[in-house]
Amino acid sequence: MTQHSYNQFCPVAMASEILGSRWTIVLLRELCAGSTRFNDLRRGVPRMSPALLSKRLKELEDQGVVERRLVRKTPETFEYVLTEAGRELREVIMAIGAWGQKWVETAPSLDKADPGLLMWDMRRNLRVDLMPPRRVVVQFIYEDLPKASGHWWMLTDPDKGADLCSEDPGFDVDLYVRCDLKTMTAIWMGIDTVARAVDQDRLLLVGDADVMAGMQDWLGLSPFAPIEKRAS
């Protein structure tokens, strides 16, 4: 998959030729997390161009890691599903993520925070079952960002699950969440907590008391959040 072969019989070298291209591991992370549609994959890798995403998907398909399936003829719609070989990579991806959470320095990670990616990950992991059994709307306001990229609405419904909007959906807001992007990223990564950020006036919550009180739990943190940081 990379432009040049390592010319080694070692299985690590041969696997690296398939997995070592730029963005491939990150794309596999999204596939392992359950994204199958092209547009959903784009939301999970927002800085990857559509052309490169198409190229990497085709390469993974050619290597037998991904299967491209037609799910609708009109309009033509495809899904990208992990094959048996691809599903076996889940443990590899989780191990890489666990290593990164444990050993990569915190500050560089937070400096690379992306509001769209953060909100997409939060939406995917949000615990709807811990929300009140009705439609709940939470507006996230990142005060260090322009309004166009700093205002997000998370909607939950016991029947429909969680949804994410970058434009006002027009419903009454149950909880307003105000902070900077780094603070919310750190909370989601398990480096910070809701309670600590509130106590230190880095996070302001206004609205429904029950939704507010359960925020640390219903946020559904990163799957790597429980891993203790060893790097500062």
pLDDT for position 107? 79
CA-CA distance, 88 to 25, in Å (whole number)? 14
**Helix, strand, coil: what percent of the chain each, to 5?**
45, 20, 35
pLDDT for position 1? 45
CA-CA distance, 211 to 218, in Å (whole number)? 9
CA-CA distance, 78 to 76, in Å (whole number)? 7
Residue range 49-78, pLDDT digits in tens:
999 999 999 999 999 999 999 998 888 899
Q: Which CATH architecture has domain 108-218?
A: 2-Layer Sandwich (3.30)
pLDDT for position 189? 92
Give the DSSP H or E segment for 141: strand 136-142
DSSP reduced 3-state for 138 = strand
CA-CA distance, 162 to 167, in Å (whole number)? 15
Torsion-angle region of 65 (φ positive above 0: left; ψ -120 to 50: alpha; else: beta): alpha
Look at residues 62, 59, 53 and name the one whose alpha carbon lies nearest to residue 26: 53
When the pLDDT of each residue in the chain is averaged and rounded to a whole number, the result is: 93
pTM score of the predicted model = 0.86
Q: What is the pLDDT along the chain (232 residues), one digit of tens a residue?
A: 445 677 788 999 999 989 999 999 999 999 999 999 999 999 999 889 999 999 999 999 999 999 999 998 888 899 999 999 999 999 999 999 999 999 988 777 788 889 999 999 999 999 999 999 999 999 999 999 999 999 999 999 999 999 999 999 999 999 999 999 999 999 999 999 999 999 999 999 999 999 999 999 999 899 999 998 887 7
Count CB-CB contacts under 10 A for residue 71: 11
* CA–centroid distance for 182 within its chain: 15
pLDDT for position 80? 97
pLDDT for position 6? 73
Is the C-alpha dihedral spanning 19, 23, 28, 31 positive or negative?
negative
pLDDT for position 162? 95
pLDDT for position 195? 97
CA-CA distance, 81 to 145, in Å (whole number)? 35
Phi, psi angle pair for 181, to nearest 5°: -65, -40
| For the chain, domain boundaries | 11-103, 108-218
pLDDT for position 3? 53
Beginning with the edge strand found earlier in the chain, give each strand of the sheet holding 203-207 in spatial order. 161-165, 151-157, 136-142, 175-179, 203-207
pLDDT for position 105? 86
Look at residues 130, 124, 126, 169 and name the one whose alpha carbon lies nearest to residue 151: 169
Fold for domain 11-103?
Arc Repressor Mutant, subunit A (1.10.10)
